[in-house]
Structure 1
């Protein structure tokens, strides 16, 4: 994971002078994401990443312990964003149907907005250390459990079909979300919001009581 990602300049060895250190992690992550997307994680070297970011290897190791820390953080920052947004949606005192619809749309939009990050991660996750893989799975499980709790709440309130298994609903929906990287194109006919609205509508129609 990123270390000292909000730290300020000086002593990083990036050659950009004091006060510029705060931008170094973002530059490294941006260039790593681009290179991993273009060439693949295993075919991208640390030297290529630091050269593209305009920093030294010392700067990279100041913020990230290794190349797989970069891979971990590329997805980790997206998952943290999505988790924070879902937690805020789930905590609202509004109709659970509206919260589930919003949560479903939000994860689609944020996935599309960070499509390279998620594509790279799912393609290369097996190359992380076992410890990091376990950490990511635990973080994703917590996100899915919060999402599932909305379905369970809707069942208790009589809004959603009682015979459905919430865990299977979550698996089915997120299978479609994770598949976005195989077909969605930013220059295609549908915007992120249009896809999000249709995914959300499909989910709500599938769980709502007749």
Structure 2
């Protein structure tokens, strides 16, 4: 069973790279099988379809991103510091997993049926987590009185999720710098100033 799970992980990792490089629609099971080094028919021992591969790649991303939420919740930070720390950690993860993050934000709409509904639920959870923090800050009087929580939530989410699409490794900005700067900018948008670092 352990060997099977390890092989599953290998197939998913290779599929992720193939989907990222070719695009999900253009990539084929034969492309994945060739990259893994097995026959196409052998893929069905691990996955039932190309769509299942994509879904399981997204499921892994969801599991890891919810773990970040749990870790940040456990810190018990004030909402200003909580938002900043969550954005910072999330972007660090995005930039360490650029292929997976890019696929998640650009290819998820190719899923159908239960796969699509499950991923929509994941996305709603992600969006509501950020929105609840901004709503809490608004209710505590930490934002401008006329701020629209929904608009601000989408603004912050758009800024955060765009990072893995434009960031290029090996440049003058390290992932940690990009994560910290983006977190500061998100907090400036919400609170009007950069919260003090604890």
Give the TM-score category using the shorter length: 0.7 to 0.9
Query: How many correspondences in the alignment?
Result: 193
TM superposition score normalised by structure 1: 0.82
Inter-partner Cα distance in structure 1 for 2:176 and 2:141: 29
* Counterpart selection for 2:180 from 188, 192, 197: 197
**Residue 75 (structure 1) aligned with residue 75 (structure 2):** no
Task: Provide the secondary structure at the position in 2 that maps to 1:179.
Answer: helix
Identify unmatched segments of 5+ residues in structure 1: 1-6, 9-19
Mapped partners of 2:186, 2:26: distance in 1: 38
Q: Which has the larger helix fraction? A: 2
**Contact 1:90-1:150 at 8 Å conserved across structures:** no
Note if contact 1:152-1:166 (Cα within 8 Å) is conserved in structure 2: yes
Once residues 77 and 168 of structure 1 are traced to their aligned partners in structure 2, the CA distance between those partners, rounded to angstroms, is 29
Moved more, 48-57 or 100-109: 48-57
Deviation at 1:101?
0.6
Q: Is structure 2 residue 136 aligned with structure 1 residue 145?
A: no
Instruction: Report the equivalent of 1:169.
Output: 152
TM (norm. structure 2) is 0.86
Match of 1:50 among 33, 52, 55: 33
Q: Counterpart in 1 of 2:168?
A: 185
Q: Over aligned residue pairs, what C-alpha RMSD do you find?
A: 2.1
